Structure 1
Amino acid sequence: MPPLIKAVLFDLDGVLVDVSRSYRRAIEETVEHFTGHKITPATIQRYKNAGGFNNDWKLTHTLILDLGIQVPLSRVVAEFQRRYRGEHWDGFIAQEPPLVGTQTLAQLRRQGYILGIVTGRPEAEARWTLERFGWRPYFPLLVAMEHQDGRGKPDPFPLQRALAMLEAAGLPVAPERAVYVGDSVDDMEAAQAAGLIPIGVVPPYLDLSQHAALLRERGAAHVLASTDDLPRLMAELEAIPAQRAL
């Protein structure tokens, strides 16, 4: 019997890879470069939890402006990327550890799901990361920053674009038969607005109980402590209709 849920879409940062010492570190160092102020991970997370800061360039620029320093966004992006991507892909991006095992992705494929990524990362950075971990064969679908027409999460457009791309490829998926796995309030709100099932994941660098409560408050239907728990949850979701039919 084919699965009731057809597609599992993932955010990348905080779900598939740990960005606590890559993107988050680039934010900290770029803010200090322009302002002389050291900001804490808690400050970054407070802005993230407020929503509307899925784009880390935008968040970094806002933090700098809020500290009273006027600087063009273009200069912020250049300084950020010098740290994050580096000259030859040797920046903080090269130090990101995975948050999911390849065996988990393989298990989800065996369970019959189409897998995809919907991320605010630039496409080159997303593809480089997939190649680095050997994950590219598992993800036939990638919706990156360049595919979002400036309408990043929490706007539902990136997820709607993902479903449109699947339909164009001959793999139509109704929104209610897809899940979106994310770690932020923007992820949960985007999934809800697009009609997908929102599944939250708490990355290891955040407090499990506090962040799980926040994700549920912002719409998560389920919250996991690890992305590796996803095959078990999907099996449980598939079993519910069968149990009701008994």
Structure 2
Amino acid sequence: MTASNLDKSANRALAIVVFDIDGVVRDVGGSYRRALADTVEQYTNGAYRPSQVDIDTLKSEGVWNNDWEASQELVYRYFEKQGKNRTEIALDYQNLVAFFQSRYRGPNPKNWTGYICTEPLLLASNYLETLTLAGIPWGFFSGATRGSAEYVLCKRLGLKSPVLIAMEDAPGKPDPTGLLATVQLLEQQFSAPETTAVIYVGDTVADMYTVEKAKLLQPNRLWIGVGILPPHVLQETSQQLEAYTANLKQAGAKIILPNVQDLTAAKIQELIAGENPA
């Protein structure tokens, strides 16, 4: 069953749920993040390979959701520490992107054999079915390219034409345009009123900032940010785990969960009730 099977009486829906993809639907610790580290290492001539903590520290700034731009920024910062000015660094962004993609997708753009092929899934399609059966519309807003997002959603999870706003469709987070567009598509598809509560599920500070910015644009509806701890964080030290959790909370996360599938229909009902006490 897919979202398209949801009863059109979704105006009774408890909430609309929108999911980020990377770190929520799939584990990108060995794919996107590995490609990012490869790219920084390549463009610093092998002198610097960022750790997961280095990447987390950068992303905690809330503006580096795009991993191509994050790679470029880490390269710049490395050379700045060596006393160079950014204007002195010969860095071709398009070449950097091409290198990144050659690692993430593989050298053949039509036959992907790169890191993307090994990404563990963090949810099962039957989890989404439980939301559908509970009358909860759901969709996806991600900074991943449409090809990458559809690879995991359609090829890996077997979803049929899910509602999706990807990199090519909207400005990068924390700009809320893509989130608002996803919600609008779900409202139209399921005849949900414009006052339906929205839950955005993400794993980064930028995701939570996106929810906060959406609140400013549409203050007449309830917006809830749900933080997910990505797998690489769960494998780090307790101190790093606490720091990551604190950053999500400070950015606006209402709750933080170790896995997206912990966001059950019952948990969603609990969240909504908590924000709308009788």
TM-score (norm 2): 0.80
Other structure's SS at 1:42 match: helix
How has the CA–CA distance of structure 1 residues 27 and 241 changed in structure 2, closer, same or farther, with 3 Å as cutoff? closer
> Are 1:200 and 2:227 matched, yes or no?
yes
Which residue of 146, 167, 185 maps to 1:145? 167
Alignment-derived partner of residue 122 in structure 1: 145
Aligned positions, number? 240
Which residue of 237, 249, 252 maps to 1:216? 249
Which residue of 189, 199, 202 maps to 1:179? 199
> Are 1:79 and 2:99 matched, yes or no?
yes
How has the CA–CA distance of structure 1 residues 176 and 152 changed in structure 2, closer, same or farther, with 3 Å as cutoff? farther
> Are 1:25 and 2:29 matched, yes or no?
no
Q: Give the deviation of 1:147 after TM superposition.
A: 0.7
Other structure's SS at 2:231 match: coil
Q: Give distance in 2, aligned partners of 1:175 and 1:19.
A: 34
Contact kept? 2:18, 2:198, Cα under 8 Å: yes
Q: Give distance in 1, aligned partners of 2:42 and 2:130.
A: 44
Other structure's SS at 2:253 match: coil
Between 1 and 2, higher relative CO (CA 8 Å, sep ≥ 6) is seen in 2
Q: Give distance in 2, aligned partners of 1:2 and 1:92.
A: 41
> Are 1:3 and 2:13 matched, yes or no?
yes
How has the CA–CA distance of structure 1 residues 173 and 194 changed in structure 2, closer, same or farther, with 3 Å as cutoff? farther
Q: Give the deviation of 1:118 after TM superposition.
A: 0.1
Alignment-derived partner of residue 105 in structure 1: 128
> Are 1:64 and 2:64 matched, yes or no?
no
RMSD of aligned C-alpha atoms?
A: 2.1
Q: Give the deviation of 1:211 after TM superposition.
A: 1.9
Moved more, 105-114 or 53-62: 105-114
Moved more, 13-22 or 156-165: 156-165
Other structure's SS at 2:63 match: coil
Q: Give the deviation of 1:167 after TM superposition.
A: 4.2
Q: Give distance in 2, aligned partners of 1:115 and 1:32.
A: 38
Q: Give the deviation of 1:29 after TM superposition.
A: 0.6
How has the CA–CA distance of structure 1 residues 236 and 77 changed in structure 2, closer, same or farther, with 3 Å as cutoff? same
Runs of at least 5 residues in structure 1 that lack an aligned partner in the other structure: none
How has the CA–CA distance of structure 1 residues 241 and 146 changed in structure 2, closer, same or farther, with 3 Å as cutoff? closer
Other structure's SS at 2:18 match: strand
Contact kept? 1:16, 1:227, Cα under 8 Å: yes
Contact kept? 1:163, 1:173, Cα under 8 Å: no
Moved more, 31-40 or 207-216: 207-216
Moved more, 72-81 or 166-175: 166-175
Q: Give the deviation of 1:50 after TM superposition.
A: 1.2
Q: Deviations over 1:6-45 (max 9, x none)?
A: x110000001100000000001111111111222111111
The percent of aligned pairs where both chains have the same amino acid is 36
Runs of at least 5 residues in structure 2 that lack an aligned partner in the other structure: 1-10, 80-88, 216-222, 234-239
Moved more, 174-183 or 16-25: 174-183
1:38 partner letter: R
TM-score (norm 1): 0.90
Q: Give the deviation of 1:228 after TM superposition.
A: 1.2
Q: Give distance in 2, aligned partners of 1:168 and 1:106.
A: 20
Q: Give the deviation of 1:221 after TM superposition.
A: 1.2
